[in-house]
Structure 1
Amino acid sequence: MRAAVYRGREDVVVQDVAEPSCSYGQVKVKVEHNGICGSDLHEYYAGPIFVPTEPHPLTGQQLPLTLGHEFAGTVVELGEGVQDVSVGEHVAIEPVYRCGECPPCRSGHYNICQQIGFHGLMASGGMAEYTVVPAWMAHRLPASISSELGALVEPMSVAYHAVRLSEARDGDTAVVFGAGPIGIGIWFALRGLGVEDITILEPSSVRRDAISALGATDVIDPTATDPVRHLLQRTGGRGVDAAFDAAGVESSVAAGLSCLGARKRLIAVAIYEHPLTTNLLELVMREGMVQGSLCYTSDDYRAVIDLMARGHYDTTGWVTHVPIDQVVEEGFAALRAGRKMKILVDP
């Protein structure tokens, strides 16, 4: 079968590899679409970062391995002992490996497991024709959810988890820094929870146009408009009830802290490549909070799937497809250059 195999920095090769078969408790999935994540770009251009160079404690796998952790497909084979999944079912994969024994796992927060692993980063993943996963990773998708949307359950769950941590609710105000896929997902999640007064800060005109076309009404270029002044005017000086940094740059963190309402939260849901030197005095004076957000849980998956089944998400104008043989040239390179927003690889 064809697979996109990561061998190191700027070294991904689409090649024929052995088709996997199921072991005990696993299901084999025929992959329909696999999204390229920002973490895949980090691995390609600056890695290995998360991809292990020695056997991972939970998966036993290491470089080289097949990328891909945002995917959906059809179950085509069951391993011994699998009872809750059936052949022919359409599924989205929740790709988190967890130990089940560390304090976070025992408290129900397996998304911050001390040995966390991801299918497609610490084990050969879904950027291939087939892959095998533990059966508990498979979430059934209703017939009303397209295979394209199914591949977006993972990144949309990242966004939904961040919104849930913010405790934003109906009638609140919010600001999202960054209108890439996670920023768009935050906008969808906020609206799904009844938050309509949302400001989007995004310097890219391509991304501003895309989220505006989806229905966002207050979309601002932070290089042309002072975001703090705009948000304080918009909220009558109170500041926003929730701020989300999906950009991962110091300027967005600083602006988010400056426009945050009293005792409200800035949710950090980006990958920060450089240390921050932001002054926290404004946070102290407002008794504000900075909350980190990492991936998701099964509850987030179920919530996103439910919203998708009700027609809440729209892929128009920001999701495109490439065949697996073009994953580097039309996938990684196009995303890095800003020519495309979200790319699904079709094995």
Structure 2
Amino acid sequence: MNAQSQTIKAVRYHGKEDVRIEDIARATIKPGQVRIAPKFCGICGTDVHEFTDGNNLIPEPGSPHPITGETHPLTLGHEFSGFVEEVGEGVAGIRVGDKVCVQPIIYDGDCRSCKRGLVNCCDRNGFIGLSGWGGGLCQSTVVPESCVKVLPDGVPLRVGALVEPLSVAWHAVKTSPYREGGSASALVVGGGPIGLAVVQTLVGRGCPNIIVSEMSAKRREFASQFGAHHVLDPASQDVVAEVRRLTGGAGADVGFDAAGSQHAIDTAFEALKARGTLVNIAVWGKRAAIDMNEIVFREKSYLGVATFSLGDFEEVIEAIASGRMDPTGMITKTITMNDIVSEGFHTLINDKDSHVKILVDIDAST
């Protein structure tokens, strides 16, 4: 796309199993906005679910998002990095040419949650790339200034596209009772992209005893590669007994459920120590049952966490820049926009255990 072009190429969601590469109008920049040329954009599990199952978070025609007013078709991509192309009137602290990533939460700023700083719990929240306001799977997009986070020189753009999923994990660990500097043990149930991001976060925050339970042999390899101290196979090992053995008989101080299955939640709760906390990160497709007597008689806690909140992106960027976290190994494949369906969605559907994060190289798509 040259500087004068008024059209751009974008990955557009039209409904279940209907994603297209289209030419669309280049968005007009308004005061308080920043125009970004995306360079790398990750494919999220949420994107895959929208593709396979149809509209869930993406608003359907007739039911526009309450803030953006948009429905599909819309541009996908909420895990992205790029360069600043243009800044709107009133924007301060962001310059043309800056290397950036985008915090994609959309929030109204007026509800009770937002007024408490809990923008991730906004009554009307959404996501850039899922609810409207453009997305990262295109050649040029416009976002609010507040969403733009500058990347320091030591954080390459490929890694910048990982800040969003890492912030989900960072928020979960930060919100949990785990605190750096102690001898706490942590159990991570589920070694998919978010579970592995939790492992990276726990390593970056100095956890001395990280235990992962995961069915897939390949994902167990990833967990070990990313720094887990102990990796368990629930198909062949008694996870509860092993966790107790690895924690001196006490059980884990904190657990993170990144699997979202009944078996996972049962195992994680039983593997906790008395007064331990299970943190739920997984998005559930159905109701779960919880053994309330585990909560009552052993004073355990169950904590839900949602995406990330204000300040999490900046903390993740600092952790990467300082060397406390090196998430480069999470990138398992890089593709072009033209291959988004065959090499992106279909790969994550048919061979998901072999991949942590597939990135789309926007420049290679032109």
**Same-fold call, TM > 0.5?**
yes
1:216 — aligned with what? 228
| Aligned 1:1-347 pairs, distance under 5 A | 1-53=8-60, 54-123=63-132, 124-169=134-179, 170=181, 171-311=183-323, 312-316=325-329, 318-337=331-350, 338=352, 339-347=354-362
2:276–2:300: 8 Å Cα contact kept in structure 1?
A: yes
Task: Give structure 1 regions of 4+ aligned residues with deviation exceeding 3 angstroms.
Answer: none
Greater displacement, 307-316 / 97-106: 307-316
Instruction: State how far apart, in whole Å, the 1-side matches of 2:232 and 2:331 are.
Output: 18
Instruction: State how far apart, in whole Å, the 2-side matches of 1:318 and 1:5 are.
Output: 23
* Pairwise CA distance, 1:318: 4.6
In structure 2, relative to structure 1, the CA distance for the partners of 1:23 and 1:66 (3 Å cut) is same
Amino acid in structure 1 at the alignment position of 2:360: V
Q: State how many pairs are aligned.
A: 347
1:3–1:128: 8 Å Cα contact kept in structure 2?
A: yes
Instruction: State how far apart, in whole Å, the 2-side matches of 1:210 and 1:257 are.
Output: 24
In structure 2, relative to structure 1, the CA distance for the partners of 1:177 and 1:336 (3 Å cut) is same
1:335–1:341: 8 Å Cα contact kept in structure 2?
A: no
Could you give the per-residue CA deviations for residues 286-322 of structure 1, whole angstroms, max 9, x where no partner exists?
Answer: 1111111101123111110001101222322653211
1:246–1:269: 8 Å Cα contact kept in structure 2?
A: yes
1:26–1:134: 8 Å Cα contact kept in structure 2?
A: yes
Instruction: State how far apart, in whole Å, the 1-side matches of 2:317 and 2:65 are.
Output: 30
* Pairwise CA distance, 1:178: 1.3
Instruction: State how far apart, in whole Å, the 2-side matches of 1:318 and 1:273 are.
Output: 27
Amino acid in structure 2 at the alignment position of 1:162: A
* Pairwise CA distance, 1:190: 1.2
TM-score normalised according to structure 2 size: 0.92
Aligned partner of residue 225 in structure 2, secondary structure: helix
5+ long unaligned stretches in structure 2: 1-7
Could you give the per-residue CA deviations for residues 77-128 of structure 1, whole angstroms, max 9, x where no partner exists?
Answer: 1112212211110111001111111111111111100000110011131111
2:105–2:126: 8 Å Cα contact kept in structure 1?
A: yes
5+ long unaligned stretches in structure 1: none
Amino acid in structure 2 at the alignment position of 1:196: P
In structure 2, relative to structure 1, the CA distance for the partners of 1:283 and 1:318 (3 Å cut) is farther
Amino acid in structure 1 at the alignment position of 2:188: V
Amino acid in structure 2 at the alignment position of 1:330: E
In structure 2, relative to structure 1, the CA distance for the partners of 1:247 and 1:318 (3 Å cut) is farther
Could you give the per-residue CA deviations for residues 28-76 of structure 1, whole angstroms, max 9, x where no partner exists?
Answer: 1000111111111111111200111222111121111011111111000
| C-alpha RMSD of the superposition | 1.3
1:32–1:71: 8 Å Cα contact kept in structure 2?
A: yes
1:245–1:267: 8 Å Cα contact kept in structure 2?
A: yes
Amino acid in structure 2 at the alignment position of 1:200: V
